[in-house]
Structure 1
Amino acid sequence: MTRRALVVRGGWEGHDPIGTTDSFVPFLERSGFEVSLHDGPAVYADADVMRGADLVLQNVTMSTIEGPQTAGLRAAVEAGTGLAGWHGGIADSFRGDADYLHLIGGQFAAHPGKAAPDRVGDETDGFVRHVIRFTEAAATHPVTEGLDDFEVESEQYWLLHDDYLDVLATTTQEARAGDPWTRPVTSPAVWTRQWGLGRIAVVTPGHSQAVLDHPTVRTLVERGLLWASR
């Protein structure tokens, strides 16, 4: 039986929502999905489309969503539609919508970046080399089983989050000289979430195609998509 995947994309162009999602369409098709592409979250308000969706891959950053669209997405996930994505495309999508934040369970707060003396005044000021460490639960989870801790040089997400997350990996912001925080802060980097009959999978690395092409990040995203699907 063919499964149906919606790829919903838009928002801030700095995350290349079209190019990065296009890079996963062949994987979805090889995995047996019929894929449809959507610009922005308007499709979430179409109950007939959402009822037939087995998976939503969302990459919409720093955008807005209307009440009926949020309600449609939540209803679909509660009924069994999977929801998955990476970086700001899922963890910083609709800052002003409390119902969306409740659904996802984690919201981007900051990526502090390089220490002041190391900044050069361009995008790379926000990139730091950091470690993604898998939790004990990751050893037996289908999304993370068999994977080892890894390093990336990119934005390191500092999150606001709740304790309903099933955290599979974390990353720690160290307290450096000159930082206003005085002790290390650990945030989820990979998590899953059961919501009604539906599953949600979030991978926070993924600022650019280069990060998504890291073998472990790519594996996490692909496994998350399959795990979340109905």
Structure 2
Amino acid sequence: MIRKFFSYIIPIKIFKKKSARSKMIEVTWANGELVLDTENTNYSYGSLQRILRYGLRNIGYENILKMDHILLLGVAGGSVVKTLVDEIEYKEKITGVEIDPEMIQIANQYFNLNQIKQLEVVIDDAFEFVLKTKDKYNLIIIDIFEDTHMPNFLFEKFFLDRICTLLKDKGYVLFNTMILDEAHNVRNRKYISEVNSELFTTKMLPRIETHNEIIIINKVA
């Protein structure tokens, strides 16, 4: 494809749409791959896929292959789903929660997300879903952004405690956060300090991208 070839020289935008939830959504050929962006940040594929792959590697692909249910809060274009299914060859159930139906339409059209049979996409607010769900999960991936903004509820202790109660024994939380200033550093350190250290271990991974910091929580029991 000629656009793919030229994208190694200059990014080539092929789709642009204003979304009520996510402001401007763009699909672009960049360095030979399709990426999904909003106005100021990469939403799927590209650098975001590298970041989440790095987090999954830290958990361990062999551990992930033993899991039977993964919850993804924030689907966007579904790059982490593709990593799980295509690279790790994970075969079990994935539930993806996405608040923006237009994002899922784009993910289906440009990234064939609807062809992944083990993926169930739920259009819902992540906070509401987490309160309602009766399931337990081996891995909960939190990847929720509104452009460069992260909703405050993600860092509230109530939400943290609820997420932790949804983990199966020896389960993991992989939380992708954005750091733009010192206040965000303080916020992340406070978040980690509020995890119950008797039941869970926590760690921040060394950053591989300037503005993203991954927090991993592991249920030790």
TM-score range relative to shorter protein: 0.3 to 0.5
TM-score, length-scaled by structure 1: 0.34
